[in-house]
Amino acid sequence: MSDKPAVTATVSTSEPIAHAPNLDDSSLYIHRELSQLQFNIRVLDQALDESTPLLERLKFLLIFSSNLDEFFEIRVAGLKRQITYNRLRIDADGIQPQQALADIADIVHQQVTRQYQILNEVLLPKLALENIRFIRRRFWTEPIQRWANEYFHAEVAPIITPIGLDPAHPFPLLVNKSLNFIVELEGVDAFGRNSGLAILPAPRSLPRLIRVPEEIGGPGVNYVFLSSMLHAHANDLFHGMKVKGCYQFRLTRNADLSFSAEDVTDLAHALRGELSTRQFGDAVRLEVADNCPEHLVDYLLTQFNLSETELYQVNGPVNLTRLFAITNLTSHPHLQFAPFVPSIPKALQKNTDIFAVVSKQDILLYHPYEAFTCVIDFLSQAAKDPNVLAIKQTLYRAGANSEIADALVEAARNGKEVTVVIELRARFDEEYNLALASRLQEAGAIVIYGMIGFKTHAKLALILRREEDSLVRYAHLGTGNYHAANALLYTDYSLLTSNKALCEDVSILFGQLIGMGKSVQMQKLIHAPFTLRKSLMDFIAREESNALAGKPAHIIIKINALTDAKIIKALYKASQVGVKIDLIVRGMCCLRPGIAGVSQTIQVRSIIGQQLEHSRVYYFLNHDADEEIYLASADLMERNLDKRIEACFQLENKKLVKRVKKELKLYLEDNTHAWLLQADGRYIQQQPAALEPVQHAQQTLLEQLSLFVADVSNPTQ
């Protein structure tokens, strides 16, 4: 890696700094893509955690693969594009894209080798001890061979289309991340061709893992890979030819979408056009079986215009993510995390009329420990309630089968005024969102596609209801998406409220998104791109001023990413005068903590566990008044603060403030699943000290908030 050495000047943390270090020094910043790689490595490390159930360990290893796919499709592709078009972007770390790509290649090659070692030497043997086996071809018994032969000719061969390579059959255009085989042949075919090469694309309709019937494979759960079947029967696909070798490979392409905002007259139409080309972007990575001969590897690299540094030779399947299919085996519950049931707040248990409850008190939910169904019910009741006149909603990700969408469709069909702001450019959810937009329009809803040049990332719903002689607004504000499946995996806060000023602000923001007009000063809501950056900078500066005045000063920020150089500088300045700063950053963090004279009062930790930490929380001690907690849809990235519509809101109920502060404290005390960022960019996992009690934040939250945690540690119970 090319990260530069840290500044080591020593200063007092309680007085103004006489000779402060230059905060523009590039050595004070970590490159964002290299930091993202460190997050992926932390995910891979979970596959070695023996306290985690075995199938969950396999799942973490597969998540590493999935994350790496997106990293190449978007991050690496973006760096390559900068170089190709000579539009170099050099961030505060000062690292050139060419150097970043070289560092990325070094790290990823090491980690991919390590990943397959963990799979082959640790996880697969342990799974075999649990009677879950992946039977390699050399271990096929005669009954398995007969069964595989019958299966291949009945289910696989009719779908496979081998492509011989010759001047009339050039190398095919292969789909992004598809499984393919390069086949080396000997002999002359019926037309006299003897090019010696063919490509065998594996149709996506075919399963990559095929379960062997128990009466044939023996007791337990046994699988063979589709690749093993194709290797075993390759000769059957090239009649009269001799197959000298058959080797799997997979190509990763640039999957980012880009179009000029100035040229767009219809965003949905432009996006549909881009989606049709996503599968065929420029090549960025080639994965090949490690037994593939060098001359065939060179041939493939030439076809895709890739270099050796972009080649990854792997000891196993090139498409590991297809193993996700076995991670939820119902036959092996003891190898998975214990299931839990999200709880419902007592106020909503006592009274199922959500509007009656929320009219009297704010309801704060922490998903997945508390039920996202409360948010769904909020909208479902509104759809049916004859007193509800209008619903306004933002949707960034909602999923293919969404109860939220069902409620909005029902509301529109019931004659209510339904307006939905759908962000069509939510990465990799674009097709779902286009389909959802069409469905809502067909039901009579007004659909807005957000703002050109600004992604709508705020999580907001507004309901207008007639009560007696007045109109009352109710709102939902969240830190995460309206995606029910994600709400079972991601930690996020939801607030249901009828606070008049806050709901009016939400109404104003919808007015900005749907209509036109100047930005309006709001009472409660802080929003990007207009007021969020300045407000956060002001809050940080206030803590800095308090520290300079000798008062206690403390900042806690829990987010997914910290890359914005201006925010980092503000935190450095606050640290220099003694502000205690605790950062809980799941993924990318470009700030270097623990540098004397710069960031010695800053600690950065990342929590990796059963749930994906996704909530965004901003805490400020604010010594001269009440401590403040803000919940937001925004991370501290340039795109969130300057190029997205984001919403941030303060918790004003002291009981809720106390609750969220207590939950933040759990993360700060975690000594089992917390990784501490070092000044050199490495992360070190925390371990309990001798006689120190074990602290596991996510487990504690499960026990305190969820309704029921099932014990499946003993499969006989």
User: Is residue 369 situated within a structural domain?
Assistant: yes
* 448 pLDDT more than 70: yes
Do 399 and 452 reside in the same domain of the chain?
yes
**Residue 428 DSSP symbol:** T
> Is 89 known as a binding-site position?
no
- The model's confidence at residue 13, banded by pLDDT at 50, 70 and 90, is very low
> Is 153 known as a binding-site position?
no
Write down which residue in 331, 362, 387 finishes a domain.
Answer: 331
Would you state the structure tokens that stand for residue 83, as one six-digit string? Answer: 């170089």
Among 367, 457, 554, 673, the one annotated catalytic: 457
User: Dihedral sign, CA of 193, 196, 197, 203?
Assistant: positive
Which CATH number characterizes residue 309's domain? Answer: 3.30.1840.10
> Is 432 known as a binding-site position?
no
Residues 234-247 pLDDT 10s: 999 988 788 999 99
Nearest Cα neighbor of 530 from 540, 520, 541, 516 is 520
Write down which residue in 508, 524, 540 finishes a domain.
Answer: 524
User: Is residue 612 situated within a structural domain?
Assistant: yes
b/e per residue 499-517 (b: at least 16 CB within 10 A): beebbbbbbbbbebbeeee
Beta strands in 237-305 (DSSP E): 242-253, 283-289
Residues 98-108 pLDDT 10s: 999 999 999 99
> Is 367 known as a binding-site position?
no
Count up the domains in the chain and report the number.
3
Do 442 and 550 reside in the same domain of the chain?
no
Residues, the chain, total? 717
SS (H, E, C) 365-378: EEECCECCHHHHHH
Q: Tell me, what's the pLDDT at 451? A: 78
**Stronger pLDDT, 266 or 611, i.e. the higher one:** 611
Do 601 and 504 reside in the same domain of the chain?
no
Cα distances from 77 to residues 72, 310, 586, in angstroms, run: 6, 12, 23
Lowest mean pLDDT among 120-134, 252-266, 617-631: 252-266
Asked if 364 and 444 touch (Cβ cutoff 8 Å), the reply is: no
Residue tagged 């509800």 (tokens): 388
Would you state the structure tokens that stand for residue 384, as one six-digit string? Answer: 């049916």
* Element housing 585 (H / E): strand 580-585
- The model's confidence at residue 267, banded by pLDDT at 50, 70 and 90, is low
Neighbours of 165 (CB within 10 A): 20
Do 172 and 220 reside in the same domain of the chain?
yes
Nearest Cα neighbor of 383 from 413, 421, 351 is 413
* 5 pLDDT more than 50: no
* Element housing 493 (H / E): strand 490-497
Q: To 5 degrees, how large is the angle CA 599–CA 549–CA 592? A: 5
User: Is residue 27 situated within a structural domain?
Assistant: no
User: Is residue 683 situated within a structural domain?
Assistant: yes
Residues 363-401 pLDDT 10s: 999 999 999 999 999 999 999 999 999 999 999 888 767
User: Is residue 127 situated within a structural domain?
Assistant: no
Q: How many angstroms separate the first and last alpha carbons of the chain? A: 50
User: Is residue 120 situated within a structural domain?
Assistant: no
Do 288 and 144 reside in the same domain of the chain?
yes
Cα distances from 429 to residues 90, 277, 396, 433, 576, in angstroms, run: 29, 15, 9, 6, 42
Parent domain of 597: 528-691
Do 538 and 509 reside in the same domain of the chain?
no
Radius of gyration of the chain (CA): 28
**Stronger pLDDT, 646 or 716, i.e. the higher one:** 646
Name every residue whose Cβ is closer than 8 Å to that of residue 368 and which is 6 or more positions away in sequence. Answer: 342, 487, 488, 489, 490, 491, 611
Neighbours of 99 (CB within 10 A): 14
The percent of residues above 90 in pLDDT, for the chain, comes to 80
User: Is residue 24 situated within a structural domain?
Assistant: no
Would you state the structure tokens that stand for residue 162, as one six-digit string? Answer: 């081998």
Do 518 and 539 reside in the same domain of the chain?
no
Do 648 and 626 reside in the same domain of the chain?
yes
Residue type, 206: L
The percent of residues above 70 in pLDDT, for the chain, comes to 91
Would you state the structure tokens that stand for residue 667, as one six-digit string? Answer: 């993360």
> Is 397 known as a binding-site position?
yes
- Region class of 192: left (phi > 0), else alpha (psi between -120 and 50), else beta: left
Which CATH number characterizes residue 352's domain? Answer: 3.30.870.10
- The model's confidence at residue 11, banded by pLDDT at 50, 70 and 90, is very low
Mean pLDDT over 452-465 rounds to 93
Residues 71-86 pLDDT 10s: 999 999 999 999 988 8
> Is 427 known as a binding-site position?
yes
**Residue 513 DSSP symbol:** H
Strands 580-585 and 628-632: unpaired
Do 485 and 619 reside in the same domain of the chain?
no
- Region class of 336: left (phi > 0), else alpha (psi between -120 and 50), else beta: beta
Q: Which residues pair with 312 in a beta bridge?
A: 287
Q: Is 147 helix (H, G, I), strand (E, B) or coil?
A: helix
d(CA 717, CA 253): 48
Residues 567-614 pLDDT 10s: 999 999 999 999 999 999 999 999 999 999 999 999 999 999 999 999
Burial class for 229, CB neighbours closer than 10 Å (0-12, 13-18, 19+):
buried
Asked if 109 and 313 touch (Cβ cutoff 8 Å), the reply is: no
Do 371 and 397 reside in the same domain of the chain?
yes
* 645 pLDDT more than 90: yes
* 508 pLDDT more than 70: yes
Residues 330-370 pLDDT 10s: 999 999 999 999 999 999 999 989 999 999 999 999 999 99
Average pLDDT, the chain: 90
Q: Tell me, what's the pLDDT at 405? A: 94
- Region class of 415: left (phi > 0), else alpha (psi between -120 and 50), else beta: left
Q: 3-state DSSP helix/strand/coil percent for the chain, to nearest 5?
A: 40, 25, 40
* 216 pLDDT more than 60: yes
Active-site annotation holds for 457: yes
Name every residue whose Cβ is closer than 8 Å to that of residue 654 and which is 6 or more positions away in sequence. Answer: 626
The model's pTM = 0.92
User: Is residue 386 situated within a structural domain?
Assistant: yes
Lowest mean pLDDT among 439-448, 603-612, 705-714: 705-714
Do 547 and 475 reside in the same domain of the chain?
no
Mean pLDDT over 490-515 rounds to 95
Name every residue whose Cβ is closer than 8 Å to that of residue 349 and which is 6 or more positions away in sequence. Answer: none
Do 511 and 578 reside in the same domain of the chain?
no
d(CA 666, CA 701): 8
**Residue 221 DSSP symbol:** E
CA 321 to chain centre: 15
Strands 221-225 and 132-134: parallel
Write down which residue in 524, 543, 565 finishes a domain.
Answer: 524
Mean pLDDT over 635-650 rounds to 97
Q: Which residues pair with 394 in a beta bridge?
A: 421
Mean pLDDT over 407-435 rounds to 86
54-70 and 97-118 are packed helices; what angle lies between their axes, rounded to 10 degrees? 160
